[in-house]
Amino acid sequence: MRLLVVSLKGGVGKTTTAIHLAGVLAQRGKTLLVDADPAQGAFEWAARGAGLPFDVVLPEDAKPKKYEYTIFDTRAQPKAKTLDEFTRKADLLIVPCSPSALALETMPRLQTELTGLPYRALLTLAPPPPSKDASRAIQKLTDFNFPHFKTQMRRYAALEKAAMQGCLVSDVRDPRAALAWADALALADELL
């Protein structure tokens, strides 16, 4: 299974999602994360720590045929060539989107670019209630007719810690780490 994580807007949680989805899928089968972003956020995440349960490689070293699951992390505002090269190989495009107006605004434009491809939005950085930002964002996606996951990657400081420590959030010492990890587990369940 090949998954591509893609968005026009930067900083919406593509790399965080790609790392954690890979972490969950690695419990089910051999998993590869291809860091197709020249900024190499995922590659550096892996380098900061030691012991992610999946391989992280740059595109030139990727041998997806040897893996049950391959996840491609990409750069924001992907070049048409990148989209073309990777989307054709993907079973599903996952489009992280934060509840910010700027992120939501890009979604109809991306939808046009992805016509005919299998894609689904994932609400990320969703603030906890009583904030209504998450439900408003879901309403927007619904208005756009943008297919989306029921699961949300909620906003937890534990995920920032995981990035800093180069590990999965399940290995972070934080009272809410388990909640953040539960989102990743739910996402994989919904996906498979």
Ligand X SMILES: Nc1ncnc2c1ncn2[C@@H]1O[C@H](COP(=O)(O)OP(=O)(O)OP(=O)(O)O)[C@@H](O)[C@H]1O
Q: In angstroms, rounded to a whole number, what is the distance separating the alpha carbons of residues 119 and 5?
A: 10
Token readout for 110 is 């991306």
Type of residue numbered 37: D
Please say which residue, 70 or 124, places its beta carbon nearer to ligand X. Answer: 124
Please say which residue, 30 or 120, places its beta carbon nearer to ligand X. Answer: 120
Minimum separation from the CB atom of position 113 to Mg ion (A):
19
Token readout for 172 is 């972070």
From ligand X, Mg ion, none, interface partner of 169 (C-beta below 5 to 8 A by class): none
CA 12 to each of CA 18, 61, 65, 122, 161: distance values in angstroms, whole numbers, following the listed order: 12, 26, 29, 10, 16
Minimum separation from the CB atom of position 56 to Mg ion (A):
13
Q: Tell me phi and psi for residue 5, to 5 degrees.
A: -100, 120
Binding positions for Mg ion, rule: CB under 5 A = 14-15, 41
From ligand X, Mg ion, none, interface partner of 10 (C-beta below 5 to 8 A by class): ligand X
Please say which residue, 124 or 151, places its beta carbon nearer to ligand X. Answer: 124
Minimum separation from the CB atom of position 22 to ligand X (A):
13
| Residue whose C-beta lies closest to Mg ion | 15
- The arrangement of strands across the sheet holding 92-97 comes to 55-57, 31-35, 69-73, 2-5, 92-97, 119-126, 148-154
From ligand X, Mg ion, none, interface partner of 32 (C-beta below 5 to 8 A by class): none
Q: 37 Cβ partners below 8 Å, 6+ apart?
A: 14, 15, 73, 74, 75
Minimum separation from the CB atom of position 5 to Mg ion (A):
8
From ligand X, Mg ion, none, interface partner of 20 (C-beta below 5 to 8 A by class): none
Binding positions for ligand X, rule: CB under 6 A = 10-16, 37, 41, 76, 124-125, 153, 155-156, 159-160, 163
Minimum separation from the CB atom of position 105 to ligand X (A):
16
The angle that helices 41-48 and 157-165 make with each other, rounded to 10 degrees, is 70
